[in-house]
Amino acid sequence: MVVAAVVAVAEAPASNPSAWVTPCRWRTNLMAERPHYTEIDHTADVGVELRAHDLVSAFERTAACMFDLICHLDEIGSAWSRRVTVRGRPGDLEHLMVRWLSELLYLSASSRILLSQFKIEEFDVEGRGAGGESSIVAQVHGERMDTARHSLRVEIKAPTYHSLRIEETPQGWAVRVIFDT
C-alpha cells in the first residue's frame, strides 16, 4: 500500500537545500491536521508519496503520514512533547530521512507514544554544525497510546531505502518512502 499526500505550505526557495539551515523561525504552524492522501496497494509493505513546497515541510509531512498510517492523526492528542535530535551524513537527504523516521518510530515504541505533530526547529543538510553531520532538531507532540481510544491500523517496523526518493521538482519537493511492516 502506498500513500500519496499533496500539501500546500509556506513557499520558500527550493533551489537551495542548504538554505534550510538553522533556525527555521519563519515557520510558525505545527503540523496538526491529518494529511490528505490516497492509499495504493503495495506488495507486503506500506509507503507514502507526498509533495511539499519546501524541504523542511517535506520531512514534517512524511513523519505525519507515517503516524497517520499507524493510527489516524485526528485520534491523537498533543499533551505530550519532546525535543528530538537526529544526525546523519552531510549532504545525504535519504540517510537523514531514514534516521529521522527511525528515531520517531523508536521514540514511539520505547515510550508507548503516538505522535501527531512535528515542528522542525533546526535543519542542517550540509553538516555545518558541530561534528560536521547533517542534523534535525524538532519538537514533536503526541500522547500515550491507549488501545481503548486509538485504532491502530498498521504496525510499521522501519523505513527502508527501497525506492526511497527525495527530489526537488518545479513545484517544490517530492518524497517517496516505503516502510517495512
Domain of residue 130, CATH code? 3.55.10.10
Phi-psi region for residue 112, left (φ > 0), alpha (ψ -120 to 50) or beta?
Answer: left
Whole-number percent of the chain with pLDDT over 90? 69
- Domains identified in the chain, total number: 1
For residues 77 and 111, give the distance between their C-alpha atoms in angstroms, rounded to a whole number.
15
Cell of 175: 518524497
The residue behind cell 518510530 is: 105
Supply the angle between the helices 93-111 and 55-70 in degrees, to the nearest 10.
40
Q: List the domain range (segments joined by +) for residue 63.
A: 2-180
User: Which residues of the chain have a pLDDT value below 70?
Assistant: 1-43
What is the reported pLDDT for 37?
A: 52
pTM beyond 0.75: the answer is yes
What pLDDT does residue 48 have? 87
Return the amino acid letter for 166.
I
Cell digits of residue 18: 542548504
pLDDT single digits (tens) 49-102: 999 999 999 999 999 999 999 999 999 999 999 999 999 999 999 999 999 999
Pairwise CA distance, residues 164 & 67, whole Å: 18
- Decide if 106 contacts 63 (C-beta within 8 A): no
